[in-house]
Structure 1
Amino acid sequence: MEGFALVLLYLAIPSLLFSAVQQVLSWRKKTLGSEPKFPGPKQFPIVGRIHDLPRFSLWLKFKEWADEHGPIYQTSALDTTFIIVSDEKIAEELLVKRGHIYSGRPQIRSLINHKDGPAYSALMDRHDTWKTQRKWAHAAMAEAYRHHFYGHVEKEMKRFLGLMLLDPARFLDYTREYCGRVMSRLAWDDATQGRATGESADNTLHCMSVSGPITNTVTPLWYIPAFINPWYQYEIKREAEQRAWWLSSFRLAKERMKRGDLPNDTWAYRYFEQLRREGNESLEQTEEQEVFASCMIGFVNLVGVVTISGPLKFFLMAMALHPKWQKKAQDEIDRVCGDRMPTMEDFANLPTVRACLKETVRWRSGVPLGVPHQAEADDEYRGVKIKKGTIVLACEWTLNRVPTKYPDGDNFRPERWLEPGWPTFQEPLTRYPSFREGHSMHSFGWGRRTCLGQNVVDDETFVFGAATLWAFNSGPKICPLTGQPVPIDTQATNSHVILEPNPFQLSFKPRSEERAKQILEGYEGVLGELRL
């Protein structure tokens, strides 16, 4: 194995030498002009600052540098320059007001041709493929939200609660599967794909993350010849399988549409109906058109799992570790809902539940690094020239800990959303806090690259949080040998671009025998219509 690694290193040397030459030429230009630049950590020849960057929990290092160098600083890795922002106003000036410049996506080395499409719209550059997919997805999501996702969130929640009652130790698996089932039902009318969708999303995130293949950080390794390049071979196989799966789901949905048994509350139905309105009654398409559409719907399905399951797992963690807030939220639910499971109709009357959810996402962001933007043209900001290709990161972890806006930012404080005097408080509490509007919407990105999923996040997280608190009391798992709580590391995560916490243990108990009976009745009530 050591010999193989040595061979790989030697094969990468030409690319490393090329990077070194580029660096030397760049330094010569800089010394001749001595242009002003943003502050930042000391840079080293060729590698910049890649040599001591952690592949896991990178956001903690960025926060450390922000505390030292200020709200905007720069660093580099090999031949790439990064500008790290930890101030909302600066991020708005660059990523929103100058969105026509800073809305590109950088090349993720271990994803093949993702900037061109059509597989991952959120990772494409801004071109016609991206515009078409984004416009369609925005309209489809808005229509589904207008009907509060057709009741699928509540139905799947009843299934989730029933499974939790029967086997609470698998709460992490059930949480991700719940998210996957909602999205797969909306996409293809096939909730049985929920678990596979979650696994596919996890694999995709691994391949696009700093903590994933080493080729995402030591990029010259990607150019090792394909026949002995394990990272390239793996990605070719993974993406081909994913695309084939999406295409198969698309074609099955099309056959159902032709037979007249595809529900009209699915995104596939919406797409096929649009084809018919445009005159394509037979729904016949080229394979290229089918791949385009299947990727468009498949990616919306995929991204809707990973962006929600992580925050929900952190929410369960937060409630178990903060019993005072668990009790406050449960008292509110009991006062408003009594013996029935909460639904979206209770949204306005449960601000404490919403505050706990909003605070969870601030306290343990699902995207702590933020999603990178790339400069599509040369620019200048505060007297510093920013070259085309520079990557700009608004670091979410640091933004969520700015003391003037988030006092005591390292601690879980839902009251910051509920009590006057806190910088994030907004009225009326029937409307705020939420994931649709108000403070801290930067969690969904910036400007022209803002995530389109605020509405499904708001509905899905609210129903999950309220219903779980209505059904169960939770707490840390007690070790049977020591009688002590099993420790939970709240910062231990998979370190993907979009996070989920590492596995942890909790205890769940129904709040009463009557409540357990109601959970089972709800579970039995949806079994007939849910495909398991």
Structure 2
Amino acid sequence: MENVMILILYLAVPSLLFSAIGQILSWRKSSMSSKRNIPGPRQFPVVGRVHDLNRFCMWKTFKQWADIHGPIYRTSMLGQQFIVISDEDIAQELLVKRGHIYSGRPQIRALFDHKTGPGYVALMDRHDIWTRQRKWVHAAMAESHRQHFYGIIETEVRRYLTVLMLDPAKFHANTREHCGRIMSRLAWDDASQGKANGDSADCTLGQMSVSGPIVNTMTPLWSIPWALNPWKKFERAREDNQRAWWLSSFQISKARYLRGELPADTWSYRYFAGLQKQGNMDLEQDAKEEEFASCMLGFQNLVGVITICGPLQFFLMAMTLHPEWQKKAQEEIDRVCGDRMPTVADFADLPTVRACLKETLRWRSGVPLGVPHQAERDDEFMGEKITKGTIILACEWSINRVPEKYPDPENYHPERYLEPTWPSYQEPLTRYPNFREGKGMHTFGWGRRTCLGQHIVDDEMFVTGASVLWAFNMTKKKCPVTGKDVDFDSEATNAHVILEPLPFPMDFAPRSEKRAAQILSGYAEVREKLRV
């Protein structure tokens, strides 16, 4: 094995040398240019500043540099130019007002053809496939939200509460499966795929992250010949398996639709009904169109897992670490809901719950680096040229810690959305705070690349979070030997582009014997609707 790795490194040397020569020439050219108006940390030949960036928590270094160099600065990594933004107004100017320039996506080396192919709408460049998929997904999400996702979220939450009560130690994996079940049910009417969906989402996210395969940062390694390239072999197998799963789910759903067995509240039903409205009564399509549709539905399904399960786990953490806010939210729920589980219909009456949820995403950013944009052509900002291909990062971790907008930013303060003395407060409280609109909504991206799933995040986070508070008291786990609380690192994460916390210890206890009985009876009422 050691000999193979040495051979791999030798094969990579020509690519590394070619890259190094190019970067030295680029560095010399930039060093001779006039003084820059956009500041940044000192750059070194070839490497730029990649050598002192921890790829498992890069956002923290970016925040440190923002504190030194200001709300917009330049840096580079192995020749790739970056603009890092830590100010909402600057991000609005570049990524929204100039969205026609800054809406490209950078190449993620460990993925095949994600900029041009049909598999990853959120990671594509802007072209016809992107336009078709985004338009369809937007319409499907909007209609589902008008119907509040057909009660599917509430049904699955009843199962989730029972799982938490019966097997609380596995809450981390079960939260991911819960999110996977909701999306699989909406996409294919097959919630039994929830665990596989969650695992697939996590693996895909790992491949697209700087903390994932080393080729995402040491890009010349990707050029190693196929026979000796473990990264290409792994990704080929992973993507082939994922595409086969999506296509199989698509074809099973098509057969069920033609037999009249597919529920009308699924996205696949909507797609097939649309084909028939166009005159394609038998749903006959060539392989390319089936691939297009199965990837569109499959990726819509996958993204809804990774954007929700991490924030939900951070919310459970926040309630454990801040019992005073857990109690305030429970008192509000008891006053409004009494003995019944909360539903989306209670949204307007539970502002404290919503404030706790929103503050969770500010306190522990789900996308701390932001999803990167890329300049699609040359531009100028602050009197300085930004060249085509430059990657723009609106660093969420930094933006959420601007003290003028979020005082005492390192600490958890849901009251910043509930009390008029805080800069982030908005009225009316029957509407704000939420995840769809208003102040602090940059978590879901900017401009033409804004996430299309804000509505399902809003509904699913609210119903799940409120229901867990209704059902359980959440506390730190006790050491069985000393009886003391078991502490943990609240910033320990999987370091993906969209974060999940690493598994941490906590306990769930039904709030009363009566509540425990209600959890079980609530599950029994929906048991026949579920695929377990």
Which residue does the alignment assign to 2:388? 388
Aligned match of 1:253: 253
Does 2:341 correspond to 1:341? yes
For the pair 1:364 / 2:367, whether they are aligned, the reply is no
Measure the CA separation in 2 of the matches of 1:148 and 1:117.
Answer: 31
What is the CA deviation profile of residues 21-69 of structure 1, one whole-angstrom value per residue up to 9, with x for unaligned ones?
2223323433554363521111111111111110111100100111111
Map of 1:129 onto structure 2: 129
1:38-187 correspondence runs (5 A): 38-187=38-187
Match status 1:464 vs 2:502 = no
The equivalent residue for 1:224 is 224
Residue 441 of structure 1 aligns with which residue? 441
**Structure 1 partner of 2:491:** 491
Aligned to 1:278: 278
Deviation at 1:529, TM superposition (A): 1.1
Cα distance in 2 for residues equivalent to 1:28 and 1:78: 14
Letter in 1 for 2:154: E
Letter in structure 2 aligned against 1:308: I
Report deviation, 1:495.
Answer: 0.2
1:4 aligned partner: 4
Residue matched to 1:415: 415
Q: Counterpart of 1:360 in structure 2: which amino acid?
A: T
Which structure 1 residue ranges, 5 or more long, are not aligned? none
CA distance in 2, matches of 1:35, 1:257: 64
Per the alignment, residue 505 of structure 1 pairs with 505
**In structure 1, what is the equivalent of residue 234 of structure 2?**
234
The answer to whether the 8 A contact 1:190-1:531 is kept is yes
- How much does 1:487 deviate? 1.2
Normalising by structure 1, what TM-score? 0.99
Tell me which moved more, 160-169 or 379-388: 160-169
Residue aligned with 2:330, SS: helix
Structure 2, unmatched stretches of 5+, are none
SS at match of 1:51: helix
Distance 1:156 1:71 in 2: 42
Query: Which residue of 1 is the match for residue 454 of structure 2?
Result: 454
Report the residue type matching 2:45 in the other structure. Answer: P
Which residue pairs with 1:210 in the alignment? 210
2:27 and 2:45 in contact (8 A); partners too: no
1:291-310 paired onto structure 2 within 5 Å: 291-310=291-310
How far 1:3 sits from its partner (Å)?
Answer: 3.1
In the alignment, the residues of structure 2 paired with residue 270 and residue 462 of structure 1 have an alpha-carbon distance, to the nearest angstrom, of 26
Cα distance between partner residues in 2 of 1:432 and 1:527: 34
Q: Structure 1: how far apart are the matches of 2:53 and 2:226?
A: 28
Secondary structure in structure 1 of the residue aligned to 2:83? strand
The count of corresponding residues between Structure 1 and Structure 2 is 532
Classify the secondary structure of the residue corresponding to 1:430.
Answer: coil
Q: How does 1:421-436 map to 2 (within 5 A)?
A: 421-436=421-436
Does the 8 Å contact 2:200/2:242 carry over to 1? Answer: yes
Please state whether the residue corresponding to 1:238 is helix, strand or coil.
helix
Distance in 2 (alpha carbons) for counterparts of 1:528 and 1:189: 14
Query: Which range moved further: 303-312 or 40-49?
Result: 40-49
> Secondary structure of the residue that 1:24 maps to in structure 2?
helix
Q: Offset at 1:382? A: 0.4
Q: Which moved more, 1:321-330 or 1:159-168?
A: 159-168
Percent of aligned pairs with the same residue? 68
The letter for the 1-side match of 2:152 is: H
Verify the 8 A CA contact 2:38 2:382 in the aligned structure 1.
no
Which residue of structure 2 lines up, in the alignment, with residue 19 of structure 1? 19
Q: Equivalents in 2 of 1:70, 1:5: separation in Å?
A: 42
Distance in 1, matches of 2:118 and 2:19, equals 30
User: If the length of structure 2 is used for normalisation, what is the TM-score?
Assistant: 0.99
SS for the counterpart of 1:112 is coil
Deviations 1:303-361 (CA, angstroms, capped at 9, x unpaired): 00000000000000000110000000000000000000000111000000000000000
Shift in CA distance, 529/68, structure 1 to aligned 2, threshold 3 Å: same
Q: How does 1:512-531 map to 2 (within 5 A)?
A: 512-531=512-531
Query: Helix, strand or coil: the match of 2:49?
Result: coil
User: Which AA in structure 2 matches 1:50?
Assistant: V
Amino acid at match of 1:70: G
User: Displacement of 1:528 after TM fit?
Assistant: 1.0
Runs of 4+ off more than 4 Å: none
CA contact 2:37–2:382 (8 Å) conserved in 1:
no
Q: Is the 8 A contact 1:35 1:384 kept in 2?
A: no
- Return the offset for 1:470: 0.3
Residues in 1 aligned to 2:430 and 2:352: alpha-carbon distance in whole angstroms: 10
- Letter of the structure 2 residue corresponding to residue 261 of structure 1: E
Q: SS of the counterpart of 2:380? A: strand
Question: C-alpha deviations, 1:154-205, integer Å up to 9, x for none?
Answer: 0000001111111111111221111111111000000001110000000001
Rate the CA distance shift 1:420–1:387 in 2: closer, same or farther, 3 A. Answer: same
Distance in 1 (CA, whole Å) between partners of 2:32 and 2:402 is 38
Contact 1:37/1:385, CA 8 A, preserved across alignment: no
Once the two structures are TM-superposed, the CA of residue 420 in structure 1 deviates from its matched residue by 0.7
